[in-house]
Amino acid sequence: MINWKIEETGFNADKIASNGNKYLVGNGYMGIRGTLEEYEKEHLVAVNLAGIYDKVGDGWRESLNAPNGLYTVIRVDEEEYRLPNSDPLEHLVSLDYRRALFSRKTTWKTPRGKVTVESERFASLSEPHLLTMKYTIKADFHADIELRTGIDGDVWDINGPHYDNLSLIEDDGLIKVIGTTHEKGDKVCVTEGCNYNFTCEKNLTVDGKRILRHFSFITKPGISYEITKFISVYTSVDTPDFEKEAKQLVKECIEKGYAFLKDQHVKKWEEKWSVSEVVIDGDDDAMEALNYSLYHLHSIAPRHSESLSIPARGLSGQTYKGAVFWDTEMFMLDFFLYTEPRVAKTLLKYRIDTLNGAKEKARSYGYDGAFYAWESQEGGFDACSDYNVVDVFTGRPMRTYFKDKQIHISSAIVHGIMRYFELTQDKSILEEGGAETIIECAKFYYSLLLKKVNGQFYELHDVVGPDEYHERVNNNGYTNRMAKYTFDMAVKIIDSLDGFNPEAAKHIRDMYPVDDLKKKFSDASSHIYIPQPDKEGVIEQFDGYKKLEDVSVETLKSRLLHEKEYWGGAYGVAAHTKVIKQADVVTWLTLFPEDFPEDILLKNWNYYEPRTEHGSSLSACMYALLACRCGMPEKAYPYFMKSATADLTGTGKQWAGLIYIGGTHPAAAGGAYMTAINGFGGVSFENGELKAKPQLPPSWNKLSFKIIHLGKLYQVEATKEGAVIKECK
Ligand code: BGC
């Protein structure tokens, strides 16, 4: 059994950035990096907000960090004690990821004795706008303490500052900071109120971008002095009444008190774990890593919204511009589908509601239909820059083609919507825009098809597949296969219109010449070129791949001239070789294993595995899943662990050229979940029935989990002998 806690003793300044990710708490509305209360922007403090963005000058448009209402510093006998400046005698940070509680305990030795501060915080799962903290000070002598606590408006930004002006206000015993964003004039309002259990002298100051309360008191040895802070975070995008609601929430929380709010929060988490916990008998490390991954997925699930998605780095900061990638539909969706389908629907609704953005993007390139944003922000705006990497040698921006050529993105949306529909039979997703989305995605691929004068196939040229190191290739197998799937799904939707509610069916029929589209899409599906295995059984990733230099990943590494050098692009070390960034053909075969006999799946796994750098955290789980499909759970296991520990070890890539890409890895977390459940658990859905054909790794005795299928909750117990599936009553 595991103890649901990660912790670290001793202080290491080199880990400030990685611990910010590892010890993150969040509730889908906001993510609070696991930084200490006294930290400032250079320590990458962030209260990162979901779904709200800003752009300043020529900088990249990115998500917003709210002013930090946790900010707290102490002085003892007029000397400031804070990390990383003052060496501690003892230091501990921990995260109880069952109950989503961050805590720290630090002791400093002062000339007159020892002083210890302890804190505990949580982003409430029962109240999305609420962040709460308890902070205590204890000394073993009569220490002269000055506690400064308030709101720090000097926030960490990558491409900021985003607040053109900040108002720092005291209002009725509460303090607040309201920031106005540069681009749209949106307001972000952080309001703080507190309770404390001691008598003291009080004062309030505004110091630059900080508004701080000062509490001065003399401690009695061994007595704890406790302050609890209630911080609400609202934006003008949430409600025009944000200031009023923010104040009201803080007032209510001051009344309710910390213990009550914590209890409510913990109960909500218990509710989540009662469905989503995965128990692995025989392997505590795997169980811990997997449930810790699920903790991260829960922490960023947008439960407060009906139409919002999850950024590629979750809510751990502005990396990747806080934008949504294919990561959500292809890697994270299953977790929510199996344990909380309402969240899965919210994620997909975001795509449906940003269809216009996708249509505009298609139009801007002269295509028909819907070309979804590679890096999607609000409204489907594509935040991906044409120059998304900085060359380490020249410092110049490099032209990259993620945005223009990674056309497989639209098929990921179709895959997500259809998977949701298949596992829930909730037709409303199709009736409320899903059907239209699928048809528009099919129209997009249709408008891209090429046929040579004497050719018999349709081809897709000049694309980037999942392996981003090879740009502008022709007939990337994964992309072509996903386009075919999209055509098939569009035909299926057209065929099922009679079963739709009459209004929704009429809407589709009024909008589209459905018979004509059906004919076109059917033809496209049966004639699109799908690369086939060669005589060794290997499927060529794209036209000409086989002619590239065959070198090992290690050899390629030895050719690097700079550790942060980008491997792709025109001059990248990988571009003219067979080394690929991440699972590509293997992703295709994982999604459509029925396309080929098992020996072909295995041959391709064996071929591509040594040629894959796994330069993306999305890669490992696809290798793990296909290994399971090929009956090799022992080979899947290290890849599973790599996905499951991505945020525990924090060893993933931190740089793409000179661009910082660190943060949490929710797609790896989702991939670890898929591997455990679909791979090792062997779960599948056949003709509306939940089935499981387990293949457990050697050390696992039993794998137990719950799954929601067609609205019913099932308990699955998988052992090496097989699986027992029971409906939970
Ligand atoms: C990967 C993409 C992924 C993105 C965000 C990139 O490094 O190549 O496939 O969507 O990161 O996680």
Average model confidence (pLDDT) across the chain: 97
Catalytic residue among 243, 468, 565, 613: 468
- What is the spatial distance between Cα 299 and Cα 320, in angstroms, rounded to a whole number? 18
285, amino acid identity = D
Q: Are 88 and 113 in contact (CB under 8 A)?
A: no
- What is the spatial distance between Cα 623 and Cα 605, in angstroms, rounded to a whole number? 7
Provide the b/e sequence for 472-484 (b: ≥16 CB within 10 Å). Answer: ebbbbbbbbbbbb
pLDDT in tens, 258-273: 999 999 999 999 999 9
Residue 653's pLDDT band (cuts 50, 70, 90): confident
- What is the spatial distance between Cα 258 and Cα 247, in angstroms, rounded to a whole number? 17
Residue ranges covered by each domain of the chain = 13-274, 277-727
DSSP 428-494: HHIIIIIHHHHHHHHHHHHHH-B--TT-SSBB--SB--S-TTS-SBS--HHHHHHHHHHHHHHHHHH
625, amino acid identity = L
pLDDT in tens, 88-103: 999 999 999 999 999 9
- What is the spatial distance between Cα 481 and Cα 591, in angstroms, rounded to a whole number? 10
For residue 321, give the 3-state DSSP assignment. helix
> Considering only CA atoms, which of 250, 268, 207, 279 is closest in space to residue 1?
279
Which residues sit opposite 127 in a β-bridge? none
pLDDT at 657: 66
- What is the spatial distance between Cα 109 and Cα 20, in angstroms, rounded to a whole number? 25
> Considering only CA atoms, which of 612, 538, 543 is closest in space to residue 578?
612
Among protein residues, the one whose CA lies closest to atom 12 of ligand 1 = 312
- Cα(327) to ligand 1 centroid in Å equals 7
pLDDT in tens, 20-46: 999 999 999 999 999 999 999 999 999
Q: Which two tokens stand for residue 318?
A: 């502005």
pLDDT in tens, 553-588: 999 999 999 988 999 998 899 999 999 999 999 999
The DSSP call for residue 49 is E
Nearest 10 degrees: CA dihedral of 519, 521, 525, 526?
A: 10
- Cα(616) to ligand 1 centroid in Å equals 6
Among protein residues, the one whose CA lies closest to atom 8 of ligand 1 = 616
- Cα(461) to ligand 1 centroid in Å equals 21
- Cα(570) to ligand 1 centroid in Å equals 19
Q: Is the pLDDT higher at 657 or at 503?
A: 503
Among protein residues, the one whose CA lies closest to atom 7 of ligand 1 = 616
pLDDT at 700 over 90: yes
163 lines ligand 1 (CB under 6 A): no
- What is the spatial distance between Cα 39 and Cα 20, in angstroms, rounded to a whole number? 11
pLDDT at 253: 98
Ligand 1 pocket, mutate which of 320, 326, 327 (most atoms under 8 A from CB)? 327
Q: Are 587 and 595 in contact (CB under 8 A)?
A: no
406 lines ligand 1 (CB under 6 A): no
Ligand 1 atom with minimal separation from the 320 CA:
5
pLDDT in tens, 60-70: 999 999 999 99
468 lines ligand 1 (CB under 6 A): yes
667 lines ligand 1 (CB under 6 A): yes
Residue 671's pLDDT band (cuts 50, 70, 90): very high
Q: What is the mean pLDDT of residues 525-549?
A: 98
> Considering only CA atoms, which of 545, 418, 526, 537 is closest in space to residue 477?
545
- Cα(618) to ligand 1 centroid in Å equals 7
Q: Are 461 and 474 in contact (CB under 8 A)?
A: yes
Ligand 1 pocket, mutate which of 313, 331, 468, 653 (most atoms under 8 A from CB)? 468
Cα distances (Å, whole numbers) of residue 465 to 50, 382, 472, 598, 690: 28, 18, 9, 24, 32
CATH topology of domain 13-274: Beta-galactosidase; Chain A, domain 5 (2.70.98)
Ligand 1 atom with minimal separation from the 327 CA:
10
> Considering only CA atoms, which of 429, 297, 239, 447 is closest in space to residue 353?
429
Among protein residues, the one whose CA lies closest to atom 9 of ligand 1 = 466
618 lines ligand 1 (CB under 6 A): yes
Residue 652's pLDDT band (cuts 50, 70, 90): confident
**Beta strand pairing status for 144-152 and 130-139?**
unpaired
> What DSSP element (H or E) covers 25?
strand 25-26
pLDDT at 654: 74
- Cα(184) to ligand 1 centroid in Å equals 28
Which residues sit opposite 712 in a β-bridge? 709
pLDDT at 651: 77
Chain centre to alpha carbon of residue 497: 34
For residue 9, give the 3-state DSSP assignment. strand
204, amino acid identity = L
42 classed as catalytic: no
pLDDT at 276: 98
Q: Which two tokens stand for residue 515?
A: 């018979």
- Cα(325) to ligand 1 centroid in Å equals 7
Ligand 1 atom with minimal separation from the 581 CA:
8
pLDDT at 661: 78
Provide the b/e sequence for 359-389 (b: ≥16 CB within 10 Å). Answer: bbbbeeeebbbbbbbbbbbbebbbbbbeebb
283 lines ligand 1 (CB under 6 A): no
Burial of 510 (0-12, 13-18, 19+ CB in 10 A): exposed
328 lines ligand 1 (CB under 6 A): no
- Can you count the helices (H) and strands (E) in the chain? 22, 28
Q: What is the mean pLDDT of residues 184-190?
A: 98
- What is the spatial distance between Cα 582 and Cα 647, in angstroms, rounded to a whole number? 18
pLDDT at 68: 98
Which residues sit opposite 209 in a β-bridge? none
548, amino acid identity = L
Ligand 1 pocket, mutate which of 21, 313, 316, 325 (most atoms under 8 A from CB)? 325
- What is the spatial distance between Cα 96 and Cα 6, in angstroms, rounded to a whole number? 7
Burial of 13 (0-12, 13-18, 19+ CB in 10 A): exposed
pLDDT at 339: 98
Q: Are 584 and 541 in contact (CB under 8 A)?
A: yes
pLDDT in tens, 406-465: 999 999 999 999 999 999 999 999 999 999 999 999 999 999 999 999 999 999 999 999
- What is the spatial distance between Cα 268 and Cα 123, in angstroms, rounded to a whole number? 12
> What DSSP element (H or E) covers 402?
helix 402-405
Residues 6+ apart with CB under 8 A from 558: none
pLDDT at 660 over 80: no
Cα distances (Å, whole numbers) of residue 293 to 94, 184, 577, 673, 682: 16, 35, 34, 8, 20
466 lines ligand 1 (CB under 6 A): yes
- What is the spatial distance between Cα 619 and Cα 616, in angstroms, rounded to a whole number? 6
619 lines ligand 1 (CB under 6 A): no
- What is the spatial distance between Cα 590 and Cα 593, in angstroms, rounded to a whole number? 6
Length of the chain: 729
End-to-end CA distance of the chain: 26
312 lines ligand 1 (CB under 6 A): yes
Q: Are 37 and 100 in contact (CB under 8 A)?
A: no
- Cα(402) to ligand 1 centroid in Å equals 10
The DSSP call for residue 603 is H
Ligand 1 atom with minimal separation from the 468 CA:
8
Ligand 1 atom with minimal separation from the 313 CA:
12
- Cα(135) to ligand 1 centroid in Å equals 38
- What is the spatial distance between Cα 713 and Cα 689, in angstroms, rounded to a whole number? 13
377 lines ligand 1 (CB under 6 A): no
For residue 615, give the 3-state DSSP assignment. coil
Q: What angle do CA 366, 370, 376 make, to 5 degrees?
A: 105
**Which class would CATH give 277-727?**
mainly alpha
> Considering only CA atoms, which of 662, 595, 653, 678 is closest in space to residue 468?
653
Q: Are 500 and 433 in contact (CB under 8 A)?
A: no
Report the 10 Å Cβ neighbour count for 205. Answer: 12
Rounded to two decimals, the pTM is 0.97
- What is the spatial distance between Cα 484 and Cα 523, in angstroms, rounded to a whole number? 10
Q: Which two tokens stand for residue 543?
A: 């036209």
Residue given tokens 């658990």 in the structure block: 681
Q: Which two tokens stand for residue 476?
A: 């990337």
pLDDT at 650 over 90: no
pLDDT in tens, 210-260: 999 999 999 999 999 999 999 999 999 999 999 999 999 999 999 999 999
- What is the spatial distance between Cα 292 and Cα 97, in angstroms, rounded to a whole number? 7
φ, ψ (nearest 5 deg) of residue 226: -120, 135
193, amino acid identity = G
- What is the spatial distance between Cα 51 and Cα 60, in angstroms, rounded to a whole number? 15
pLDDT at 678: 98
Q: Which two tokens stand for residue 568?
A: 């792709």
> What DSSP element (H or E) covers 74?
strand 72-76
The DSSP call for residue 382 is B
pLDDT at 462: 98
